[in-house]
Structure 1
């Protein structure tokens, strides 16, 4: 599902670790608060509730350089809506393998910073709309390698460069608030929105329907919700009243 100007889509997250759907606090291993068998069934349940896109993150790939390719393929077989996928994509060969599986959008983080030309190559071969760059921010600096390593630059500094290289969208995650269920700050995402013209998808700290309403007024074209859904802080069907509305 392509992003459309003046519309916002709400995207449930399915994070996979050791073949299970989990939710971590700030991406730290050992902080699993949710563990559910059969991630493909979880993804299907979100589709059944009205999701137009599923956000899938391979946490083993992001943290330990392993992959959950079997679980990813099961999700693709189980659901009919598109998925956007990230986590542990460290080589252009693996990126192409995933794109050839008909992943709607591939979320590239660490590899994009280690070899920026890869973004240009993949965008040219597969179309920019299928290439999303992950900008994860901690203490206002971009972090890579599973949120462990700072690169010394702010998200806005690097976002324009990736847009010029051909990235079709940006996933912006505020690690400072991710998984804490304490809300979020709008300033960092507003700065990004002023910098680039490609769609921004926001993730991190979304806890209430009021948070969703607040984001609908910023101009982001997508939001990813994880922990708040799994801990019943937000009812997904109720959240859909804010979908496709930008004020």
Structure 2
């Protein structure tokens, strides 16, 4: 197997893991009104504290946006919520059984030999279980996700042939197809054309109306203005009642996978 082919399979397995039923671990049950809670969560990268003793409650059926300077720990918190990153200390409580994580589009390699429909179909794999084929219902869910993001006519095209905005819409459609209780999005509209950003914001609002808890890391002012709650982070910690211009501070060391 060539190095490129090995890389393709590795990246595909990573996407499947992100959108598996339990995000890699069985969630702890919760009887609260929150979709997820973090208590005393810290993440240590070889002595560098990326997230420092974070307590966070994610409201159900609401849009929570995490903001802050680059290197503040926002994406790391999102990965912990997704189950893609284990905390060094602290506890993670998830009330639903299904999570979907849509990473930044740069995570997905151009070498993946997938069509747009293939990418969206990955979203239903986590709930199919072993030996189950995609059913008529699953295909309807996939079709609905494609339609919501305006990419039905692109379904048969290779994923690598899409523009940046189209790729991000396909990745979000994958998250919608998961049918998750908790939808986690890392910079879903950054660098996109106005039309793609508008479709993504509309899809996010639609998920919240359907009772899904959505957590975004974002610098999109429109998305932030739509939020039910804005969580500000600085130097790995949550910051309360702080203006955005006060979040930057001195830069911290930043590991490559922060």
Fold shared per TM-score above 0.5: no
Q: TM-score, normalised by structure 1?
A: 0.35
Larger radius of gyration: 2
The structure whose RCO (Cα within 8 Å, separation 6+) is larger is 2
